[in-house]
Amino acid sequence: MKPAAFDYLVPQTVAGAVDALAAGAQVLAGGQSLLLEMHLQRAHPALVADINRVPGLDTLTVVDGTLTVGALVRHKTFESPGAVPGPLGDLFARAVGYIAHPPIRARGTMTGNLAWAHPASEWCALAVALDAVVELRSTRGTREIPAEDYFLGPFQTARDPDELLTAVRYPLLAPDTGVAFTEHRRTGFSFAQVAVGAALTVREGVITGARIGLANCADRPLRAHNAERTLIGSEPSQPVFTAAGEAAAERDAAPVPEPYADVDYRRHVVAVLVARTLREAAPV
Ligand SMILES: Cc1cc2nc3c(=O)[nH]c(=O)nc-3n(C[C@H](O)[C@H](O)[C@H](O)COP(=O)(O)OP(=O)(O)OC[C@H]3O[C@@H](n4cnc5c(N)ncnc54)[C@H](O)[C@@H]3O)c2cc1C
């Protein structure tokens, strides 16, 4: 199908983009979700603002232990070893290979992915687990929202329609943090049935820090707080990781049934994948 007719603007500045949004435009970033929706006639924006010519949005910066990812940083950037320092970069590099396939990773953006807010998104789950903050700009000013408050449901966020998601910020992970990312899906290019990202800090043989992000385990990305609580203060071991997996499956996840994967099956996958991801993050 062809998209319905629309007007097309190419703002040259963030202020111009924000003005376009105030006039009712929808942002075009990588176009990997928006254009598909328009072709399928499930999205009918009358005005599209293509932000790809706005300078300064394609940068990754690290200042005072915080990584800032601009709105035009493509998925593939995170495939490069060292693009982001330390364990955070390692975690992103492990996750990004699960996102779609190379042409989509070459154009799609991390912030476009957070704006789209698919419940199975790898970036959305990591944003919640890692205490990311999204920066939103409109003609009314700039505000920041913690990722855990930003995602409200499938394809629903706290972003107002006239707000441009200009950047997402992550605190860097401590150098002695172990990370892992695992995923279960039907085919190589399918969205995740369940995906799990984890960051574990073990000091003097005891788990002192735990972050677990879950994708497609509820109507929105989740941080597995109950599972994390079972880990803190314990020595890393297979029984401890198995118990954390069971806590994530029974007390954190709230899976909805999907074709090929009912709720019981998906809880089982959560338990297995969480335990496996933790074991990879902190080998025992
Ligand atoms: C075949 C296929 C497989 C895929 N597989 C996966 C997968 O496994 N995992 C995964 O996470 N994703 C997957 N995706 C989605 C892909 O990651 C997209 O790149 C991403 O969801 C959207 O990013 P984008 O930059 O292309 O945004 P666009 O398509 O340009 O925009 C998406 C939406 O977000 C809005 N938007 C974009 N940027 C901003 C901004 N800065 N401020 C405000 N609003 C904005 C747009 O207006 C639009 O509503 C897949 C897509 C396809 C087509």
Which of 68, 78, 113 for mutating ligand 1's site (highest number of atoms within 8 Å of CB)?
Answer: 113
- Residue ranges of the chain with pLDDT lower than 50? none
DSSP class of residue 236 equals P
Residue 263 has what pLDDT? 92
Q: How are strands ordered across the β-sheet holding 177-184?
A: 177-184, 194-203, 206-215, 222-223
Residue 261 and residue 203 in one domain:
yes
Report which protein residue has its CA nearest ligand 1's atom 50. 100
Domain boundary among 129, 153, 171: 171
Contacts with 16 (C-beta within 8 Å, 6 or more apart), sequence order: 54
Residue 104 and residue 191 in one domain:
no
Ligand 1 center from residue 262 Cα (angstroms): 26
Residue 85 and residue 163 in one domain:
yes
Q: Rounded to the nearest 10 degrees, what angle do helices 122-129 and 86-96 cross at?
A: 160
Domain count of the chain?
3
Ligand 1 neighbour 195 (Cβ under 6 A): no
Identify the CATH number of the domain in which residue 99 sits. Answer: 3.30.465.10
Helix (H, G, I), strand (E, B) or coil at 81: coil
Ligand 1 neighbour 173 (Cβ under 6 A): no
Ligand 1 atom showing the smallest separation from residue 109 Cα: 25
Ligand 1 atom showing the smallest separation from residue 71 Cα: 41
Ligand 1 neighbour 274 (Cβ under 6 A): no
Q: How far apart are CA 65 and CA 261, in angstroms?
A: 40
Ligand 1 neighbour 100 (Cβ under 6 A): yes
Ligand 1 neighbour 165 (Cβ under 6 A): yes
Residue 162 and residue 181 in one domain:
no
Ligand 1 neighbour 99 (Cβ under 6 A): yes
pLDDT in tens, 94-107: 999 999 999 999 99
Ligand 1 center from residue 36 Cα (angstroms): 10
Residue 185 and residue 273 in one domain:
yes
Ligand 1 neighbour 27 (Cβ under 6 A): yes
Residue 12 has what pLDDT? 98
Closest CA to 239 of 279, 183, 198, 266: 279
Residue 271 has what pLDDT? 98
Contacts with 10 (C-beta within 8 Å, 6 or more apart), sequence order: 49, 50, 52, 53
Ligand 1 neighbour 216 (Cβ under 6 A): no
Residue 156 and residue 247 in one domain:
no
Residue 18 and residue 65 in one domain:
no
Residue 45 has what pLDDT? 96
pLDDT in tens, 35-83: 999 999 999 999 999 999 999 999 999 999 999 999 999 999 999 879 9
Q: How far apart are CA 147 and CA 238, in angstroms?
A: 30
Question: Does any domain span residue 55?
Answer: no
Which of 51, 104, 193 for mutating ligand 1's site (highest number of atoms within 8 Å of CB)?
Answer: 104
Question: Does any domain span residue 1?
Answer: no
Residue 279 has what pLDDT? 97
Question: Does any domain span residue 2?
Answer: no
Q: Where are any strands of DSSP class E within 141-189?
A: 141-146, 151-153, 156-157, 164-171, 177-184
Residue ranges making up the domain that contains 156: 60-171
Ligand 1 neighbour 132 (Cβ under 6 A): no
